[in-house]
Amino acid sequence: KSIAILTPEEGTDYGWNQQGIDAAKAAGKAAGVEVVVAQGLGYGDVRPTLRELASDGASLLIAHASGYNTSAPEIAKELKVPVAIVDTPNGLEKGLVADYTLSGHQGAYLAGRLAAKMSRSKSVGIVVSGEPPSWNSQSAAFAQGVKAENPDVKITYAVIGPAAYSDAAGGKRVTESVIASGADIIFGQGNGSSFGMLQAVETTKAADGGKVYFIDVIGDKSPIDKGFLLSSVVWNIEPVYAAMIADLKADTFGTKHYTIGLKDDSVKLLKTAAIPDNVWAEIQTLREDVISGKIKVDPVYDAAAVRALMTSVAQ
């Protein structure tokens, strides 16, 4: 029949919303089901949209925002329509509620290794516009990767401010400060504000007068890159959605957690021209180690824990 995906912002952000929508469309196409997209719904109450999509006949509602994980299961129970929610591993309910807790921490770990290898100043920065769990786990893994590569590399962690998703000016300002503190690679997470970070990277020189590079997350911003994008921890959610559709058909929906990881390339590091081939080869080796479990990367979701980690790794 049809599935529906709900996202808080428009699916044109080269990030969370776009990846979700594109993946849902791809998975739907592969499975031969229609995909209804409800985007730009904001972070308020989506119950009306959920109910309406359900009444329009959607047989799966993908509530693609952590802000929707209270309302979506409630509607699932009310209308007996399967929903998929994020960041709620203990919310499973057979036939009704599935969770996909996406975390790119494995990829972020590799990004950290990459950054530490490539930083000329031995100083990197993490700039985030907020501290939701999925970003926290990547910030933490990135820091771990940096330290694993070279414990002497300095990490500067900065949050732009509360509810700063659309604060592009704030993103630029904070990123510029972090660059001034010596960083020449910025690991940036933040919806609208990440364009401000990108702008800062493009217009600010590192301490040595050279380029500052940007490592993005979730989406692939290379179509709009001006040569400053070092890499991105790209998420491919399609396998998750495809598995959900399959489970729905097999009546096993709501019994498992869906995750993404390096193994099936649902998390992968973007290769850009800025990464020398030898470095890339080293990163590929590390990737194998993470997949094989030789290197263990545990996700850290709690904001306070992430901050604690930053201070401990910074000293």
Partner 1 sequence: MTGLFSEVFLSALLFGAVTAAIPLLLAGLGEQISEKAGVLNIGIEGMMLAGAYLGFVGAFYSGSLWLGFLTGAAGGAAVALVMALLCVRIGLNQIVIGIALTLGLEGLTALLHHFQFSRSYPRLPAADATVIPLLSDIPVIGPAFFKHHLIAYLAVALVFGMGYLYRRTQLGLNLQAAGDKPAALDVAGIDVIRTRTIAVLATGTLAGLGGAYLANVGAGLFIPFITNGAGFLGIVLAMLARGRPVWVLFGALLFGVCLSLTTAMQVAGINIPTDVIQMLPFLAVMIMLVLFGRRASLPAALGIPYERGAR
Partner 2 sequence: MSIDTAPSASATALDATSGAATRRDILRRLLMTLGPILVALVIAGCILLAVGVDPLAYYGYVLEKGLFSPLGIQQTLTRMAPLLFLAAGLIVAFRAGMWNLGGDGQFLLGAVTAAASAPVLVEIMPAWLALFCSFLIAMVVAVVWSLVPALLRAYQGVNEIITTLMMTFLGTSLANVLVKLAFRDPGTTVPQTRTLPVEDRLPRLFETTITSGLLLGLAAIIIVHLVMTRTAFGLKLRIVGANPRAAVHSGLGVPGLTVAVFAISAGLAGLAGAVDIIGVQGNVRADWNPAYGLAVIPAVFLARMNGFAAIGFVFLLSVLSIGGESAARRLDVPNHFTLVLVSIVLIVLALAEYFDHRFNQSRKA
Residues that bind partner 2 (CB under 8 A): 10, 36-45, 47-49, 51-52, 55, 66-67, 69-71, 74, 77-78, 87-88, 90, 101, 130-133, 162-163, 301-303
What is the pairing mode between strands 229-235 and 267-269?
A: antiparallel
CB 230 within 8 A of CB 202: no
Does 219 help bind partner 1 (rule: CB under 8 A)? no
Alpha carbon of 223 to those of 142, 219, 228, 229: distances in Å?
24, 11, 12, 10
Neighbour-count burial of 210, counting CB atoms closer than 10 A to its CB (0-12 exposed, 13-18 middle, 19+ buried): exposed
Q: Is 246 in the site for partner 1 (CB under 8 A)?
A: no
Scan residues 223-242 and list those touching partner 1 (CB under 8 A): 224, 226
What residues contact 310, with CB distance under 8 A and at least 6 apart? 126, 139, 143, 155, 157
Contact status, residue 103 vs residue 260, Cβ threshold 8 Å? yes
Assess contact for 115 and 274: CB atoms under 8 A.
no
Return the number of the residue (28 or 67) whose C-beta is nearest partner 2: 67
Total interface residues for partner 1 by CB under 8 A: 46
Q: What is the dihedral of CA 229, 272, 284, 219, to 10 degrees?
A: 60
C-alpha radius of gyration, the chain, whole number: 19
- Subset of residues 40 to 99 that bind partner 1, contact rule: CB under 8 A: none
Of 106 and 138, CB closest to partner 1: 138
Q: Choose the contact partner of 179 out of partner 1, partner 2, none; CB within 5 to 8 A by kind.
A: partner 1
In the range 156-185, which residues lie near partner 1 by CB under 8 A?
156-162, 164, 166-174, 176-182
Q: Say how far apart CA 154 and CA 233 lie, in whole Å.
A: 21
Measured at the CA of 259, the angle between CA 253 and CA 264, to 5 degrees, comes to: 115
Neighbours of 247 (CB within 10 A): 20
Cβ closest to partner 1, residue 226 vs residue 294: 226
41 binds, among partner 2, partner 1, none (CB under 5 to 8 A by kind): partner 2
305 binds partner 1 (CB under 8 A): no
Q: Which does 231 bind (CB under 5 to 8 A by kind): partner 2, partner 1, none?
A: none
Q: Closest CB to partner 1 among 10 and 74?
A: 10
Q: Which residues contact 296 (CB under 8 A, 6 or more apart)?
A: none
> Quick one: what does residue 227 bind among partner 2, partner 1, none, with the CB cut-off 5 to 8 Å set by partner type?
none
Q: Which does 95 bind (CB under 5 to 8 A by kind): partner 1, partner 2, none?
A: none
Which position among 10, 34, 78, 251 is part of the footprint of partner 1 (CB under 8 A)? 10
Least distance in Å: CB of 265 to partner 2? 25
First to last CA, the chain: 55
Considering the complex, state which of residue 129 and residue 231 has its C-beta at the smaller distance from partner 1. 129
Contact positions vs partner 1 (CB under 8 A): 10, 12, 14, 156-162, 164, 166-174, 176-182, 192, 195-196, 198-200, 202-204, 207, 224, 226, 304, 307-308, 310-311, 314-315
